[in-house]
Structure 1
Amino acid sequence: MQISPSILSADFANLERELKAIANADWAHVDVMDNHFVPNLTLGLPVVEALLRVSPVPVDCHLMIDDPDRWAPGYAEAGARSVTFHVEAAADPVATARAIRSAGARAAFAVKPGTAFAPYEDLLPEVDMVLVMTVEPGFGGQSFMADQMAKVRQVREAVGRHGGEVWIQVDGGVSAATIEQCAEAGADVFVAGSAVYGQESAASAVDELRALAERHRHPA
């Protein structure tokens, strides 16, 4: 059970400090948005490169951008340990996943709440993780969409059929109140923004979320 705090909820003026505050996390989740694929603009490769120099934990880049086939491998080449692209935006998801892996990172694909997983099940051998969005991508602080747990279960069942070790990540509205149902459905990587950075102690919030997920772990 892995906790990946989202720096989208961190203090952008003090990102090195904010990263050090989550040194007990498994990942630092970095949302890259281009104001095209989603209606928001955050940061790009130059800022990610700076974060990579100071992050005490591996960086997990979630690319909410157009044309990830072109841009995603660069994040892996820069040193991100995990790079997620949206299947809705990828022209050739197989080639993109292989390019990310060839550059030394874990490859993952994401599906928005309205995107069915079944058409993309054949991609499982090409990736290391599937991200099921539990809010519409684009902004932090949205309400958790519990109806996406059916999709998490669907992905978990598909992973079981295909074999191999593919992680299932959930992102959006994950908190102490919602992480248990995510774990029970089969998720094992949890992105949490305000549920970590909105607390008095980010490190304590990470520990609490991990403990809750462990207690409700989906049977293998």
Structure 2
Amino acid sequence: MNKVLPSLLAGDFMRLGDDIEKMEAAGADIFHLDIMDGQFVPNISYGLPVVKAIAEKSTIPLDVHLMTNQPEQFIPEFAEMGVAMVSFHIEATAHPHRIMQLIHNHGMKAGIALNPHTPVNMVKHLLPEIDFVLIMTVNPGFGGQEFISSCVDKIEELAVMKEDSGYDFAIEVDGGINNETAEICTKAGAGLLVSGSHLFKSGDWKRAVDTLKG
């Protein structure tokens, strides 16, 4: 069964606490938090105080996705808040292994994220030690974008590498995930499904979550 990660960026920020409670009741597994700096991506999301407030409210794990330059910043702070998973972009650093170790040393699962144009081979050397790989199926920075179907090939390629080498990392996918694209990604090998607009704009959150879980 897939795990469903609602992206809180698509929630109602005036009623975020209510949205968290309702999405947990709907069966969400993990909350996905997109951290944007306005430099690595052309948008700004929320900072540490909001993450702290979410962490205090949520009863399920938090998955922080760093769409930032210098992703090593604030990793200790995320750990103190109780964040369970942190992913950073391979395109944002010359020292990915160092950042991965930093995340692990603070007791969190480490993930590496790839933009749509970035080949899987760029993270091949990290796969023996990484906990999850995040395949972006839209260009990061804004919600509600159309799914880039060519990224499915990258999920399949990564799944083959995982099987052939006996690795145990998870494959996460983010961008344009709905019932149709979730099925495509799951068949390709993904098991962690991030969904924002599709979940929060659905009329029945529990039904939407259950459908994505498969």
Supply the RMSD in Å over aligned alpha carbons: 1.1
Deviation at 1:130, TM superposition (A): 0.1
Q: Secondary structure at the match of 2:49?
A: helix
The corresponding residue for 1:40 is 43
Question: Which ranges in structure 2 are unaligned for 5 or more consecutive residues?
Answer: none
User: 2: CA distance between counterparts of 1:127 and 1:52?
Assistant: 24
CA deviations on 1:135-167 (whole Å, 9 max, x unpaired) are: 000000000011100000111111123323100
User: 2: CA distance between counterparts of 1:115 and 1:164?
Assistant: 21
The corresponding residue for 1:215 is none
Matched, 1:140 2:156: no
Contact 1:132–1:170 under 8 Å retained in 2: yes
User: 2: CA distance between counterparts of 1:117 and 1:34?
Assistant: 24
Residues 185 and 63 (structure 1 numbering): CA distance in 2 closer, same or farther, change over 3 Å?
same
Q: Secondary structure at the match of 1:63?
A: strand
The corresponding residue for 2:7 is 6
Matches within 5 A, 1:108-187: 108-187=111-190
Question: Which ranges in structure 1 are unaligned for 5 or more consecutive residues?
Answer: 212-220
Q: Secondary structure at the match of 1:187?
A: coil
Deviation at 1:73, TM superposition (A): 4.2
Deviation at 1:208, TM superposition (A): 1.3
Deviation at 1:21, TM superposition (A): 1.4
Matched, 1:61 2:68: no
Deviation at 1:3, TM superposition (A): 0.5
Q: TM-score, normalised by structure 1?
A: 0.92
Q: Secondary structure at the match of 2:110?
A: strand
CA deviations on 1:122-144 (whole Å, 9 max, x unpaired) are: 10122100000000000000000
User: 2: CA distance between counterparts of 1:85 and 1:74?
Assistant: 15
Matched, 1:98 2:101: yes
User: 2: CA distance between counterparts of 1:47 and 1:86?
Assistant: 22
User: 2: CA distance between counterparts of 1:119 and 1:144?
Assistant: 22
Q: Secondary structure at the match of 1:206?
A: helix
The corresponding residue for 1:21 is 22
User: 1: CA distance between counterparts of 2:151 and 2:88?
Assistant: 19
User: 2: CA distance between counterparts of 1:132 and 1:71?
Assistant: 23
Same amino acid, percent of matched pairs: 39
Q: TM-score, normalised by structure 2?
A: 0.95
